[in-house]
A and B are shown apart, each in its own frame.
Chain A
């Protein structure tokens, strides 16, 4: 490889510096927030019983770690998220394919999809518990209800965005609808599908926690519910703190997944 010009080396340095600056700023903001929070509570300006504080959160997390329940709760929640996410992704791609393949079907069920998408799913909570039973299946069902319809609609609209000229080209090749889907529509909608999956992962997280708040014996949603019932707000806030980390982690995993697929395709 040719040695870089001075200007290019300067450009690379500048880019690296910019990245570092952003990372350090993020860490500083987080530290500043935590320190202020800790200071306010140790000076008794805020009530730690109601608002907790970083040291209490650490203690709570350690005691959960000590009785071996921390990873169990996190594990259960992650497991429920994973199952709901995979199910919702597969189902939404299949249903979106059917809608694309059969435009008449899409026209017929359009209003039903719109209603199901905008219906506040939490209202169905009591029904789900009675229908599916109190346990993990109803939590997954809740998460599916919350994420499925919006992802069907956005993936389906992604499928419709494929250029009509290219569809005509495929028709001139006498391609079957399945071939058109496999060679053209699905790969062309890669960006839309990935964007939908990113939204989907946070929707399933919301769905799982909502389900756990309604009915569960384990999981972070359960800890939040339990903590609020026995007025252990440290436990509630610690769980929310963990949820924050998990949601960022999931987003990060999706980003990596996206870049791996993109690299292997382009």
Chain B
């Protein structure tokens, strides 16, 4: 299968007055259409830097990111970043407004997404009236509204409590698979990565290199929560944990 995105020998330095710090040493990987790829690594290893480079917020020091010109990439951050003075619907339309692609049709699509994913009753509510899980779902729909081909999710559930994080990760999985999107997830949460992904890339300690890659093979009908109770789950967990080489 042809890849949709190719990352080749990415290197990134951060510069400060006193020193130059290497954040990414040598990162190469491919992303295939329709897959959920997770990037895990020890905290501070430069995971988020990769996403920032992929969506153009940062430039790399060397290396290339290759993808077809007409591909749209959307970014979802750890914080939901919902504007408190806009309603759920208006928040979800924000990206369309800014990119001048708000039409009756695109608005209908957003309302359809909100209805489908359980926010149909709160279209005209303000974010402060929603639970943490609902806010995160709203942020996800704001990202999907742009009809991106690739979704970048940066620690999308880590601001939530354990239960909400399980529920939202189930939702994210369902939505991404149903809408046939490709997703790159950055997380420090190994169980989350195993439960959601088709493939996992493990990064080394800072400065980051790709240490290992795992193909995660569960039955495709399994939900992320069901995956967690499957016996293979533990074996993946142990392997990835060993690769992370964390001393406690």
Contacts and interface: CB of A to CB of B under 8 A. Distances in A.
Contacts of B57: 168, 171-172
Interface stretch (B27-35, B63-71, B78-86, B213-221): B78-86
A112 to B, nearest CB: 25
Given A168-B57, A266-B126, A187 B99 contact: no
Interface string A161-187: 001011011111111000100011001
- Interface size for chain B: under 10, 10 to 19, 20 to 34, or 35 or more residues? 10 to 19
B83 A172 contact: no
Given A173-B99, A183-B94, A266-B126, A163 B79 contact: yes
Contact of B78 (A165, A170, A179): A165
B85 A265 contact: yes
Interface residues of A, number: 19
Most buried by B among A169, A183, A184, A187: A169
Interface in B67-98: 74-75, 77-79, 81, 83, 85, 94-95, 97-98
Nearest to A165: B79
B186 to A, nearest CB: 14
B55 A172 contact: yes
Contact of B77 (A165, A183, A188): A165
B8 to A, nearest CB: 22
A96 to B, nearest CB: 19
Contact of A188 (B56, B78, B83): B83
Contacts of A37: none
A163 B99 contact: no
A190 interface: yes
Contact of B85 (A165, A166, A187): A187
B67 to A, nearest CB: 15
A170 B98 contact: yes
Contacts of B52: 168
Given A172-B55, A172-B75, A174-B99, A166 B81 contact: yes
A251 B56 CA distance: 47
A62 to B, nearest CB: 49
Interface string A53-76: 000000000000000000000000
Contact of B97 (A183, A188, A190, A266): A183
A187 B146 CA distance: 23
A236 B146 CA distance: 66
Contacts of B99: 173-174
A169 B85 contact: no
A179 B98 CA distance: 7
Given A165-B79, A266-B126, 12 more contacts: A166-B79, A166-B83, A168-B77, A172-B55, A172-B56, A172-B75, A173-B95, A175-B98, A179-B98, A183-B94, A183-B97, A184-B83
Q: Which 6 A-B pairs have CB atoms at the shortest separation, nearest pair first?
A: A172-B75, A166-B81, A173-B98, A175-B98, A165-B79, A169-B81
Interface of B: 52, 55-57, 74-75, 77-79, 81, 83, 85, 94-95, 97-99, 126, 146
8 contacts: A163-B79, A165-B81, A169-B81, A170-B98, A171-B57, A175-B98, A179-B98, A183-B97
